[in-house]
Amino acid sequence: MAFGISFARTFKHTPWIDAVDRVSAAGDNGFNIRFQRLGEDLDTIGDRFTTVSAALDSLVRVGGAERTLVVPPLLTPVGGASDWDLSTTPGKASVRGEVDTVGITGAVPVTLPAPGRILGFQAFGTIAQAAEVRVDLTRRSLDGSGGEVPPIVRIQASESAAFRERQPAPSVAQIDPQSAYYITAHVGGTGHDSSVTLTGFRVRYQES
């Protein structure tokens, strides 16, 4: 990367000669004009330092490094028996066939560093035929207080294209060291020919 920052000195001192030159304040060879030219060079150097500082600041990411956490869909059943199939293909969680409106839910824990803030959350997978899929990134206080907590980010999908990244509201994006984070995946209201496959989750965050 080239910034093209340079400096060319304009001040040039011509030595005075004893018993020849008559030193004075005014005139082409006086103190005033010489120090004026020297001051202009110093001002130029100051401008160059300002430019260099701005260029260096632009290379530093404000608020710390941005990181990406990839989470495999190793879903644990929530609320009883689960039809999430983790055995067919490694790295995939699938639901096939008809699921009633109550649906099935699975969860996987997420370890996020604190301090920091969440930038985005995305699910990956495919939805075939009619199905309603909900994937949440949420948290719960370590001491269990606070009751049910609204999700930080929710992905509501009925087709594969809806599995795009979502960003949290600024009010809930800060990572809380006193909370445990997890991802829940819920499927419900599917038809006989429906098929839902989740292949992973991604959380983007920024360290503080």
* pLDDT tens per residue across all 208 residues of the chain: 566 677 777 777 778 788 777 777 787 777 778 788 888 888 888 888 888 877 776 665 556 789 999 999 999 888 765 678 887 778 899 888 777 767 889 999 999 988 899 999 999 999 887 678 999 999 999 887 777 788 999 999 988 888 999 999 999 999 999 999 999 999 887 777 788 899 999 999 998 7
Both 52 and 73 in one domain: the answer is no
Structural domain that includes position 150? 66-207
Nearest CA among 203, 188, 6 for reference residue 82: 188
Grouping H, G, I as helix, E, B as strand and the rest as coil, residue 100 is: coil
Both 161 and 201 in one domain: the answer is yes
Q: Which residues of 31-50 are buried (b: 16+ CB within 10 A; e: fewer)?
A: eeeeeeeeeeeeeeeeeeee
Both 50 and 78 in one domain: the answer is no
For tokens 């199905």, what's the residue?
131
CA 163 from chain centre, in angstroms, equals: 18
Both 55 and 70 in one domain: the answer is no
The CATH number given to whatever domain includes residue 102 is: 2.60.120
Both 43 and 85 in one domain: the answer is no
Tokens of 192: 């006989």
Both 83 and 6 in one domain: the answer is no
Both 97 and 46 in one domain: the answer is no
Number of domains into which the chain is organized: 2
Both 134 and 165 in one domain: the answer is yes
Both 159 and 94 in one domain: the answer is yes
Both 82 and 133 in one domain: the answer is yes
Both 97 and 162 in one domain: the answer is yes
Instruction: Quote the pTM value.
Output: 0.67
